[in-house]
Amino acid sequence: MNREELEGLTKPELVELVLRLQHPEKTSRTSSKPPSTDRKAKREGSRPGGAKHGHKGHFRNLAEKPDIVEDHRPTHCHHCGLPFAEDEAGAVIGEYDEIDLPEVKPIVKRHRRLKCRCATCGKKTAAPLPQAAHGTPFGMRIHALALYLKSNQLFSYERLQGAFADLFGLTLSQGALMNMFQRAAPVFAAGRDNALTALRRADVVACDETGVRIEGCNAYQWVFCSAEAVVHTTDFTRAGQVVRDIMNGHQPEVWISDRYTAQQGHGRLHQTCLAHLDRKARFVAENGSDLTGMRLQFWLDRAFDLARDIAELAASTVKSRKRKLERDLDAILASVTDCPLGSELLGQIRRARDQLLTFCDFAGKVDATNNVSERALRPSVIQRKVTNGYRAKWAADAEAAMRSTVDTARLSGCNPFQTILGTVSA
């Protein structure tokens, strides 16, 4: 804005403009904003990329069971010039792998229905319709690959259609792809129910939610994580009733979440995600007018150190370090600050005072952060940016059921594609 435009503003408009300019900018380090929204720093004077001088290189390990072994022998002696025999014995002095993919193309099996004339009575009899004549012409492996690329690699219908055409020369309409997902929905619903049963007997549950578009409306995708199960669900509300419906009366020993009101009161004890508070503390430390943010940042760093080492520490050591953290936190909360940012953060921490160090009483069983839920929701966040949501509620529910089945199986070390293939082939 130039001077004339500024002079034309009213006093309230000028006050609002000044307040906006004074408001500090949030980054991925000080808030939940993604790193892609940060302004890129200039690299002038920064450390150059690449490995450091003297860095030991790393190489790909050789395959344990190669499909083909080819021996390379010298043809003649470099000393006397005489040729070697083709079956001359030799010692292996080096091994190197060459890896490639075979040509992948669809296998088309044509089923022909025949009609035969009886040599005795002269009447014609037609063969019954083969199973291939009913339903879809596409096999289970095509179904599994489409589901895998859609849910795990986050392809849109258009990109998925192009991938099948470019890679396999297979023409698939978007309607055919949608029908694949509809046929698979009931199968994955059973896997989701199994995960839900395991969740409802868990002692520790972590939960989070994120926005999603369904049928052109704002909705929410929820995730519930335990040691044995991961359950995804979609709903048009962000209220606590979603949690109550999922848990069906079960109250875990510890509930892990952020400070969102609808996440409160679902467990006997609560662990607030310290990562959320750490981002806010960094924001206050960088933009506040006193040391409140820095003091809280140092305190949270010590809490993270304890959480990282807690499984290897003696119980007495954990209790001692917890008491020290509690005393130091009380001293920080008792301090007086005239910084609005620091005052707001202190108020949030006071309200969560009894939920910050719950992990100390459950060594190795309760995390200090809710990162497990955020990792489980990350594919949904990326898909929202790629596809802008779901056209129908059944599609959102079907994908939530598939994610529940795949993510739960992943806890046992199962391959996602093999899980999908095994489920649709059962």
Average pLDDT, the chain: 90
pLDDT the model gives residue 267: 95
**How many CB atoms neighbour CB 197 within 10 A?**
13
The token duo for 154 is 């986050």
Model confidence at 12, pLDDT cuts 50, 70, 90, reads confident
Tens of pLDDT, residue by residue over 318-370, are 999 999 999 999 999 998 888 899 999 999 999 999 999 999 999 889 999 99
φ and ψ at residue 224, rounded to 5 degrees: -125, 125
Model confidence at 303, pLDDT cuts 50, 70, 90, reads very high
DSSP E strands in 247-393: the ranges are: 254-257, 269-272
Percent of the chain with pLDDT over 90: 68
pLDDT the model gives residue 215: 93
Distance CA 173, CA 165 (A): 10
- The stretch 20-44 carries a mean pLDDT of 65
Residue found by looking up tokens 């739960």 in the block: 408
- The stretch 376-392 carries a mean pLDDT of 90
Model confidence at 388, pLDDT cuts 50, 70, 90, reads confident
Tens of pLDDT, residue by residue over 62-80, are 999 999 999 888 888 989 9
The token duo for 65 is 């069971």
Residue found by looking up tokens 């806010």 in the block: 280
Give per-residue burial for 150-187: e unless 16+ CB within 10 Å, then b. Answer: bbbebbebeebbebbeeeeeeebeeebbeebbeebbeb
Distance CA 225, CA 221 (A): 13
Measured CA to CA in angstroms, residue 366 lies from 29, 333, 344, 361 at distances of: 24, 25, 27, 9
Model confidence at 304, pLDDT cuts 50, 70, 90, reads very high
DSSP state letter for 267: S
Tens of pLDDT, residue by residue over 129-155, are 998 888 889 999 999 999 999 999 989
Model confidence at 60, pLDDT cuts 50, 70, 90, reads confident
Model confidence at 220, pLDDT cuts 50, 70, 90, reads very high
Measured CA to CA in angstroms, residue 146 lies from 122, 170, 402, 412 at distances of: 49, 12, 13, 23
**How many CB atoms neighbour CB 313 within 10 A?**
14
Model confidence at 20, pLDDT cuts 50, 70, 90, reads low
Of residues 395 and 47, more confidently modeled: 395
User: What secondary structure does DSSP assign to 13-38, as a single string?
Assistant: HHHHHHHHHHSPPP-TTTSS--GGGS
396: pLDDT strictly greater than 90: yes
pLDDT the model gives residue 32: 65
DSSP state letter for 161: H
Model confidence at 58, pLDDT cuts 50, 70, 90, reads confident
- The stretch 206-231 carries a mean pLDDT of 96
Distance CA 334, CA 401 (A): 47
Distance CA 390, CA 207 (A): 22
Nearest to 359 by CA among 422, 393, 284, 308: 308
pLDDT the model gives residue 33: 67
Pairing of strands 115-117, 124-126: antiparallel
Distance CA 166, CA 164 (A): 6
14: pLDDT strictly greater than 80: no
Of residues 15 and 108, more confidently modeled: 108
Q: Determine what percent of the chain falls in helix, strand and coil, rounding each to the nearest 5.
A: 45, 10, 45
Q: Sign of dihedral through CA atoms 219, 221, 224, 229?
A: positive
84: pLDDT strictly greater than 80: yes
Residue 322 in contact with residue 348, Cβ under 8 Å?
A: no
Residue 414 in contact with residue 152, Cβ under 8 Å?
A: no
Name which of 190-194, 322-326, 372-376, 379-383 the model is least confident about.
379-383
Distance CA 399, CA 185 (A): 8
Nearest to 202 by CA among 230, 222, 223: 230
pTM, whole model, 2 decimals?
Answer: 0.81
Measured CA to CA in angstroms, residue 257 lies from 191, 224, 285, 310 at distances of: 25, 10, 24, 20
Distance CA 350, CA 31 (A): 20
Longest dimension (CA), the chain: 107
- The stretch 182-206 carries a mean pLDDT of 95
409: pLDDT strictly greater than 80: yes
Length of the chain: 426
373: pLDDT strictly greater than 90: yes
Residue 200 in contact with residue 248, Cβ under 8 Å?
A: yes
Distance CA 192, CA 230 (A): 9
